[in-house]
Amino acid sequence: MHVLEVQSLQKSYRLSGKVVEAVRDVSFNISAQEVLAFLGPNGAGKTTTIKMIAGLIVPDRGSVAIAGRNPHRQPNALRSLGAVLEGNRNIYWRLTPEENLEYFGVLRGLSGRVARQRAKVLLDRFDLSHKRKTTVQTLSRGMQQKLAIAVALIHEPQLLLLDEPTLGLDVEATQTVKQLVREIAHEGRAILLTTHQLDIAEELSDRVAIINKGKIVAQENTVDLIRQFSGTVYEIELEDGLSRDFLETLGRDRFQKLKSLGALIEKNCIYVRETELLYQALDILKPLAIARIEKDQANLTDIFLKFIREDYYA
């Protein structure tokens, strides 16, 4: 069974008369031990999705099930969920790490005794024992974020939500958080993490869902997604001095044909995925002037950007 099941989530906001469709028909699942990276530019709808899963925003439509329970109707569903939210402290800076862990432990339904025991174990594990009686505000940013993750784990939830967990961290702290995410997934939890730092998604995730303007535009196994593109993507750059509008130069007919090959078209560049398709594309483009043809060494960053732009030009 999936730890998290998200079905057709939909959310629009009304802000000063205008309607923003923040999340449109988003569906995905995550199993135990799996890390899903939610990737998208600012304003894509990542945080809104995460908050709908955490029961903090009521969706217009669609459903969320955490270990089979609906967080909006069954408060007990929240026993299976821990979350570190974006741009929030998430923990009390005026308390010590120990006090934070114990307080939030009880808030998540543990007894005081169990919370104290788990706090000790987590402090050891997260290498914070020596700071356990120091107030959080005097800790380094990295330690604060580590503690926020520890606090999210105090009740041993099956699902962990991390919204931009490495935002604002230095290189070393980022490294630490990455290591932690791997460990936490390894011990059997499902993790949903959002990030715009693509290298992090590439390193940490088993699966990637790319979201743009509220819609999931690609959802694939991370390794497959990279393999699908790397090495076998060709970039054809056309000379576009002829017309101000490249699409005009290309013509509607050619545009449709290229699309049916599965090509991505962006500015004056066309991307195709296989060698065979390259020649078909060249046939279609004949006799337009070509400036450059290149085999693309894609990494996730490029793939990500292409999908985003693709959607933009569509």
Partner 1 sequence: MLELLIAQLKWSSIQYRRYASEAIGGVIALTATFYGLFLSASYIGGGSVRFGDRLDSVIVGYVLWSLVIFIMGGIPGTLQREAQVGTLEQLFISPFNATQILLFRAIGDLIIQTFLISIVLIIIMVTTGRWLSFSPALILPFITVVLGAYGIAFAAGGLALIFKSIQQLLGIFNFALLFLLTIPTETWSGTQQVLGWILPMTTGAGLLRDLMARSQPLALPLLGLALLNGLVYFALGVSLFRWAERAAKRRGKLAGY
Could you say which of Mg ion, ligand ADP, partner 1, none residue 97 binds, taking C-beta under 5 to 8 angstroms by partner kind? none
How far, in Å, CA of 83 to CA of 43, rounded? 20
Print the binding letters for residues 85-124 with Mg ion: x by CB under 5 A, - otherwise: -x--------------------------------------
Task: Please tell me what DSSP assigns to residue 275.
Answer: H
Cα three-residue angle 121-125-126, rounded to 5 degrees: 120
Residues 51-110 that bind partner 1 (CB under 8 A): 51, 54-58, 75-76, 78-79, 81-83, 85, 87-95, 99, 102-104, 106-110
Least separation in angstroms between CB 312 and partner 1? 25
Print the binding letters for residues 150-189 with partner 1: x by CB under 8 A, - otherwise: ----------------------------------------
Residues 18-37 that bind ligand ADP (CB under 6 A): 20, 22
- Among the listed residues 23, 26, 36, 47, the single contact to Mg ion using CB under 5 A: 47
Print the binding letters for residues 18-57 with partner 1: x by CB under 8 A, - otherwise: ----x-------------------------x--x--xxxx
Q: Does 15 bind ligand ADP (CB under 6 A)?
A: yes
Sequence-ordered list of residues with C-beta below 8 angstroms from that of 250, at least 6 positions apart, any chain: 238, 258, 265, 288
Phi and psi at residue 293, to the nearest 5°: -125, 135
Q: Does 44 bind ligand ADP (CB under 6 A)?
A: yes
Could you say which of partner 1, Mg ion, ligand ADP, none residue 225 binds, taking C-beta under 5 to 8 angstroms by partner kind? none
Task: Please tell me what DSSP assigns to residue 79.
Answer: G
What tokens appear for 152 in the block?
Answer: 């999210």
Could you say which of Mg ion, ligand ADP, partner 1, none residue 300 binds, taking C-beta under 5 to 8 angstroms by partner kind? none
81-84/269-272 β-pairing: unpaired
How far, in Å, CA of 69 to CA of 87, rounded? 28
What tokens appear for 67 in the block?
Answer: 């270990």
Q: Which is nearer to partner 1, 77 or 258 (CB)?
A: 77
Q: Which is nearer to Mg ion, 46 or 118 (CB)?
A: 46
Where does this chain touch Mg ion (CB under 5 A) — which range of 18-26, 47-55, 96-104, 264-272?
Answer: 47-55
Angle between helix axes 300-313 and 222-229 (nearest 10 degrees) is 80
Could you say which of ligand ADP, Mg ion, partner 1, none residue 45 binds, taking C-beta under 5 to 8 angstroms by partner kind? ligand ADP
What tokens appear for 244 in the block?
Answer: 């101000």
Task: Please tell me what DSSP assigns to residue 67.
Answer: T
Least separation in angstroms between CB 57 and partner 1? 5
How far, in Å, CA of 306 to CA of 144, rounded? 35
How far, in Å, CA of 83 to CA of 85, rounded? 6
How far, in Å, CA of 194 to CA of 211, rounded? 10
How far, in Å, CA of 285 to CA of 239, rounded? 12
How far, in Å, CA of 269 to CA of 292, rounded? 9
The SS3 of residue 149 is helix
Could you say which of Mg ion, partner 1, ligand ADP, none residue 107 binds, taking C-beta under 5 to 8 angstroms by partner kind? partner 1
How far, in Å, CA of 24 to CA of 8, rounded? 8
Q: Does 16 bind ligand ADP (CB under 6 A)?
A: no
Could you say which of Mg ion, ligand ADP, partner 1, none residue 87 binds, taking C-beta under 5 to 8 angstroms by partner kind? partner 1
Binding residues for ligand ADP, rule: CB under 6 A, are 13, 15, 20, 22, 40, 42-48
Binding residues for partner 1, rule: CB under 8 A, are 11, 13-14, 22, 48, 51, 54-58, 75-76, 78-79, 81-83, 85, 87-95, 99, 102-104, 106-112, 115, 135
